[in-house]
Structure 1
Amino acid sequence: MADRSFQPAFLSPRYWPTWFGIGLMRLLCLLPVPWLLALGSGLGRFLGRVIPSRRHIVRRNLEVCFPELPAAERERLADEHFADLGAGVFEAALAWFASDDKLRPHGEVVGLEHLDAAMKDGQGVLLLTGHFTTLELGARYLCLANRPFHAMYRPYENKVMDHYMHHWREARSGLPALPREDLRKLVKALREGRCIWYAPDQTLDRRNAVFAPFFGHPALTISATGRLAQMGRAKVVPYFPARINGRYRVTFFPALEDFPGGDDVADTARINRVLEEGVKLAPSQYFWVHRRFKKRPPGTPDVYAR
C-alpha cells in the first residue's frame, strides 16, 4: 500500500490551487445546506450549457436508457442532471467537512433492518450501490447510523487529493480504506464479517468484466461481484442514496437471495437490474455524464458517435 502520510512536497506551489480549493470548500460548508445546494445547482446548470461534449454524452445515455420519454422530458432530465452534478460537488464537501449535528436534520437511513439481518450471523456484506451524485454524502449518513464499513479507493494522480480523500474516507467510514485491486484484503475483510462499499457500474477495461444489459442495452460491467461474494462468504445488500424534495434518504433493500448463481453473465445482469431500480429512485442523480456504453460488443455501433 502506498504511503499516504503527509509529505512536505504537498506544500510545493504546484499544489497551491488544490489547497485553495480545499480551503474554499471548508469555508463554504459553513453556509446553510439549502444555500449550498442552490449555489451548486446553478453552477451545474451553467456548465451543462457551456460544455456541449458532456451534454452530448448525457443526452445519448438518456436516449438509450429512457427511449419511452418524450425528447422534451429527456432534455429536462439532462438539465436536472447537470444541476445535481453541481450540487454534488458541495454535497461531497459536506460529507467531508460538515459536523454530525449539521447533517442529521437533513437526512435519514431507511431499511437498516435488511443490513442488520444480513450480518446477524457474522457474515460480511458487500454494500452494493452505483455512482450517484449523492454518493459521498450517502456514505456519511451510513456512518451517522453507526454502521462502519470499508471504503474502496483508487489512487488519484494529485497527491494532495489522494492523501485527503484517503484520510476523509477512513475518518468517516470508521474502518481502513481498501485498495480495489487487492483481492486478498477484500476477501479477508468479508470473511471477518465486515462491510465493504462496492459499486460495479464503472469499469476501465475488459478484464473481469462482461457485457450485460443495462436498461436493455449491453454495457461492459464488472463481473467480480458474484465471485467476491462467494470467496468472502458474504451477502450482497443493495443500498442507494438520493436527495428527494431537498432531503437525503439512504435506502437499504433486502440481501439478494440465491446469489451468486454460478454464471458470471447471469449474475452480472442481475446486478444491473438491481442498479436500474436504484437509478429509478432519483433518475437525474445517476452519473449520466459517464460514458456507460463506451465499450461495445464487436460490430455494435458507437453510442456516442456524432
Structure 2
Amino acid sequence: MTNIPTFTPALLHPRYWLTWLGIGFLYLLVLLPYPLLYRIGTAFGRGAKRFIKRRVHIARRNLELCFPDMPEGEREALLNKNVESVGMGLIETGMAWFWPDWRIKKWFHVCGLENISLARQKNQGVLLIGLHFLSLELGARIFGIHNPGIGVYRPNDNKLIDWLQTWGRMRSNKSMLDRADIKGMVRALKNGEIIWYAPDHDYGPKSSVFAPLFAVDRAATTAGTHLLARLGKPAVIPFVPRRLPEGKGYELYILADEKALPLDNELATATYMNKVLENAILLAPDQYMWLHRRFKTRPPGEPSVY
C-alpha cells in the first residue's frame, strides 16, 4: 500500500527536465478560467487528430466493432467528439492534480451520494466501479473529496510521473494499491474501505474470460471482479463522471449497488458486469477511452481485429 510519496533529489536529474517543463506548463495552464480551458482543450484535441493517427484508427475500429448498426456518419461524428475529449482529458488531469477542492466543487454537481452512505451504514466495503473515461482523474478526485477511499493503479515507468500522479491522487484518497495486489484489495474491502477498481480494459489473457461487450461476442474481460466481490463481499457501485457541453462543468453519477451481480462463476460475473459497463459508457460515449485496444486479446485461433 502506497502512502503520500516522498520527493527525492533524484527526480531533479536532467533526464526529467523535459517532464518538469511539461508539468510546469500544465500547472500554469490550469490557472486559467475553466470556460477558457474548455475551449483550449477541445481545440487541442481537434488539432492533435492528425498526429495520433494510430490511436484514431484504434478508436474508429472500436466504435465499428461496438456499434456496427450505427450509421457511419454518426460514428464519425462520435469519433470527432471523442478526439476533442482526448484534449480535454489532458487538461482535466492537471485540474485533478493541481486545483484546490473548492474550485473542483464549484464545477461539479454530484448525484447519488446516498448510495455510498447506504453501504457504509451496513459496514460494507465498497467496490467502486470506475471506467476509463478521459476525465477519470478528475472524476476520482471529486469522488474522493466526498468519500476518500483507496485507489488502484499501475505504477508509471517514469519515476517523476509516478511520483506526481501518486501525489495528485493522494490529495483525495487515503492510499494507493498496485492493481496486482489482490490480497490487499480484499483485505481493504473486508475492513470496510472503498476500493476504486476499473474492470473495463483488456488486461491480457491471464485471469480473463471472454464475455460479450456491446456487439463483440467475446471480449477479454478481467475475472478480478468475480474474485473481489466473492471474497470481499462489498457493495458494487459504479460511478460515471460526465463533462457537460459548452464548458458548463461536470456531473458525477454514483449509481446504485449492483446487488444482482451473479457470483456463480467468473463468466457469469463478467457478462453481467459488461452490461453494467455498457450502460455507464452510454451516459457519455464521446468521453470514453476508445483509443485503447480494448479487443486486442482474442480467443485462440482468432485473428487480430485491428
TM range (shorter): over 0.9
Shift of 1:205: 2.1
Q: Verify the 8 A CA contact 1:244 1:282 in the aligned structure 2.
A: no
Please say if 1:6 is aligned against 2:22. no
Report the Cα distance in structure 2 between the residues aligned to 1:241 and 1:281, rounded to whole angstroms.
9
Please say if 1:256 is aligned against 2:258. yes
Please say if 1:177 is aligned against 2:176. yes
**Structure 1 unaligned runs (5+)?**
none
Match of 1:274 in 2: 276
Q: Verify the 8 A CA contact 1:242 1:250 in the aligned structure 2.
A: yes
Q: Please identify, of 183-192 and 274-283, the stretch whose mean Cα deviation from structure 2 is larger.
A: 183-192
Match of 2:127 in 1: 126
Q: Verify the 8 A CA contact 2:108 2:249 in the aligned structure 1.
A: yes
Partner of 2:7, secondary structure, is coil
Report the Cα distance in structure 2 between the residues aligned to 1:28 and 1:48, rounded to whole angstroms.
21
List aligned pairs for 1:32-47, cutoff 5 A: 32-47=33-48
Q: Verify the 8 A CA contact 2:202 2:296 in the aligned structure 1.
A: no
Report the Cα distance in structure 2 between the residues aligned to 1:188 and 1:149, rounded to whole angstroms.
13
Partner of 2:258, secondary structure, is coil
Shift of 1:204: 3.0
Report the Cα distance in structure 1 between the residues aligned to 2:131 and 2:120, rounded to whole angstroms.
21
Report the Cα distance in structure 2 between the residues aligned to 1:52 and 1:24, rounded to whole angstroms.
25
Letter in 1 for 2:119: A
Please list the CA deviations of residues 140-189 of structure 1 after superposition, one character each: whole Å capped at 9, or x if unmatched: 11123x2111111211111011111111111222x011111112211111
Match of 1:294 in 2: 296
Q: What value does the CA root-mean-square deviation take over the aligned residues?
A: 1.5
Report the Cα distance in structure 2 between the residues aligned to 1:18 and 1:299, rounded to whole angstroms.
42
User: CA 1:277–1:178 in 2, change beyond 3 Å: closer, same or farther?
Assistant: same
Please list the CA deviations of residues 51-73 of structure 1 after superposition, one character each: whole Å capped at 9, or x if unmatched: 32221111111111111211111
Q: Verify the 8 A CA contact 1:243 1:249 in the aligned structure 2.
A: yes
Shift of 1:128: 0.7
Shift of 1:222: 0.8
Report the Cα distance in structure 2 between the residues aligned to 1:77 and 1:123, rounded to whole angstroms.
39
Q: Verify the 8 A CA contact 1:170 1:177 in the aligned structure 2.
A: yes
Please list the CA deviations of residues 222-264 of structure 1 after superposition, one character each: whole Å capped at 9, or x if unmatched: 1110211121121111111111233211111111123342210
Report the Cα distance in structure 1 between the residues aligned to 2:193 and 2:122, rounded to whole angstroms.
12
Report the Cα distance in structure 2 between the residues aligned to 1:278 and 1:97, rounded to whole angstroms.
27
Match of 2:153 in 1: 153
Match of 2:113 in 1: 112
Q: Verify the 8 A CA contact 1:227 1:260 in the aligned structure 2.
A: no
List aligned pairs for 1:183-198, cutoff 5 A: 183-198=182-197
Partner of 1:281, secondary structure, is coil
Letter in 1 for 2:295: F
TM-score (norm 2): 0.94
How many residue pairs match? The answer is 302
Match of 1:222 in 2: 222
Q: Verify the 8 A CA contact 1:114 1:254 in the aligned structure 2.
A: yes
Partner of 1:160, secondary structure, is helix
Shift of 1:117: 1.2
Match of 2:83 in 1: 82
Letter in 1 for 2:40: L
Match of 2:249 in 1: 247
Match of 1:163 in 2: 163
Report the Cα distance in structure 2 between the residues aligned to 1:73 and 1:5, rounded to whole angstroms.
48
Letter in 2 for 1:79: N
Q: Verify the 8 A CA contact 2:230 2:263 in the aligned structure 1.
A: no
Q: Please identify, of 34-43 and 124-133, the stretch whose mean Cα deviation from structure 2 is larger.
A: 34-43
Shift of 1:300: 2.8
Please list the CA deviations of residues 33-53 of structure 1 after superposition, one character each: whole Å capped at 9, or x if unmatched: 111121111111111233322
Report the Cα distance in structure 2 between the residues aligned to 1:50 and 1:5, rounded to whole angstroms.
36
Match of 2:267 in 1: 265
TM-score (norm 1): 0.94
List aligned pairs for 1:21-40, cutoff 5 A: 21-40=22-41
**Structure 2 unaligned runs (5+)?**
none
Shift of 1:2: 8.0
Partner of 1:249, secondary structure, is strand
